[in-house]
Structure 1
Amino acid sequence: MPPPRPQPLTAMVSLTLATGVFLAWIGLHVFSVWFLDAPARPWLAAACLIGLTWLSVGLFIVAHDAMHGAVAPGRPALNAAIGGLALTLYAGFSWRRMIVKHMSHHRHPGTDDDPDFGHGRRGVVAWYVDFVRTYFGWREFFVLGTAVILYALILGPRWPYVAFWAVPSILASMQLFVFGTWLPHREDGEAFPDRHNARSTPLAVPLSLLTCFHFGGFHHEHHLHPSVPWWALPRARRAEP
């Protein structure tokens, strides 16, 4: 089944939403790290952590769409620039390393060459640890370490506020793993619908957006139509017979 026909404004919508995620993350990050008095306003601090976690998920999803050329269709250099920026803001990840691994996931779903598949692991914790090891290497360690040192030197006694970057990134990795990898690809005794070895999690559209920008609730649709951007995945399902 071919994917839904792209609309003339698809690229504009994807670029606008990606820009919105970037600006929202940067704005909330700057406010939380540089201006928020967390001890005096704990409820606001908690809200900022929740917001930054969700926006960090959004950064990764923007990068993911860019890997499939869905942010700026037909413009690979622009997709790479946007995706690289999103991964850098998220946790200093390497664009090249990430896209190579992710394309292997799509080319070899559910096989030994799939870096994201469970391969018989039942425990979600063990799978998550392997998931992190797959994507987090020395480059990421040095990038994040350098950023923490610079923040500490600049902020002085306020340096623990770097947690408003580190904690949301860690929580977002868990959220992405649970809703974008473990639930769609776990082997639970129920057969997968096809060779993609992926299933969509039965979530209402608003909850699908809040959990993983539709990559949990519409994960099978993504594997069927990887060039469809995250915001159009519900429409892709409606287009199926």
Structure 2
Amino acid sequence: MAHASELQRVAPARQRRVGLALAAAVIAAWLTLHVWGVFFHRWSAIDALRVPLLVALQSWLSTGLFIVAHDAIHGSLAPQRPRVNAWIGQLCVALYAGFNFRRLAASHQRHHEAPGTADDPDFHAAAPRTFAPWLYAFFTRHFRWTEFGIVTAVLLAYIALGAQALNLVTFWALPALGSALQLFTVGTWLPHRHGEDAFADHHRARSLRWPWLASLLACYHFGWHHEHHLHPHVPWWRLPSVRRV
């Protein structure tokens, strides 16, 4: 495991600069592709090759919005700047699916206090190994009527502004669903599901020891989940440097 000196190597000011720059890049890229895809994309023959790549990219960027907000929850996005964390975190989860940052932060705190137990809102104690029931419980627990109402209102506004149904499905709905599956599978189910191997400690989390690029593409290194639980103050982009060996 990384030594304490490694964990303290990045000064708060530098961590803020890097974290905010990466957050700005993710938000700007997501907004650009979202607005272009929903309102300005015109379909042509080349889309048979282009659109699957764009959907995959937008799914990954949507995941990035949530990961940035997750760092904001832990205060690791902008260390020593709680208002900046709260503002950017709220922006990201609102863009993601109309979520409330404070409610998500409270839920995530409970997850860290009792991971992999019946008191963990991200855990499915009734089916601690099975993908589908856990995914359903995870989705319905976090995406409530409030979020459904917000997303519906935005959808109606988009239609009123001239967005086409196929564009909405392709560049908004599909990336949102892909991102939800990505976050759940890599960030929750694989690290916390029960298996034949015992967990290392009370965090009840395992890490997915994938190569750096695969880890980044899978979920912004959030597969290094045991390390995250050990060092929740470490932002996503630093997790590979503190992973267990």
AA matched with 2:33: L
AA matched with 2:39: W
- The residue correspondences of 1:94-105 to structure 2 (distance < 5 A) are 94-105=100-111
CA RMSD, 1 decimal = 1.5
Q: Is this contact kept in 2: 1:87–1:95, CA < 8 A?
A: yes
User: Which of 211, 217, 223 is residue 210 of structure 1 equivalent to?
Assistant: 217
SS at match of 1:187: coil
Alignment partner of 1:111 is 2:114: no
AA matched with 1:131: F
Aligned to 1:18: 23
Distance 1:170 1:22 in 2: 18
What's the TM-score once normalised by structure 1's chain length?
0.94
Aligned to 2:40: 35
The Cα shift of 1:110 comes to: 1.8
Give structure 1 stretches of 5+ with no counterpart: none
AA matched with 1:136: F
Distance 1:141-1:48 versus aligned 2 partners, 3 A rule: same
AA matched with 1:101: S
Q: Is this contact kept in 1: 2:94–2:100, CA < 8 A?
A: yes
Q: Which moved more, 1:107-116 or 1:20-29?
A: 107-116
Aligned to 1:70: 76
Q: Is this contact kept in 2: 1:32–1:45, CA < 8 A?
A: no
Alignment partner of 1:183 is 2:190: yes
SS at match of 2:50: helix
Q: Which moved more, 1:86-95 or 1:4-13?
A: 4-13
Q: Is this contact kept in 2: 1:151–1:159, CA < 8 A?
A: no
Give structure 2 stretches of 5+ with no counterpart: none
- The residue correspondences of 1:22-171 to structure 2 (distance < 5 A) are 22-40=27-45, 41-121=47-127, 122-155=129-162, 158-163=164-169, 164-171=171-178
Alignment partner of 1:235 is 2:241: yes
Distance 1:52 1:73 in 2: 28
Q: Is this contact kept in 2: 1:36–1:45, CA < 8 A?
A: no
The Cα shift of 1:141 comes to: 0.4
The Cα shift of 1:160 comes to: 3.1
Q: Is this contact kept in 1: 2:63–2:183, CA < 8 A?
A: yes
The Cα shift of 1:118 comes to: 3.0
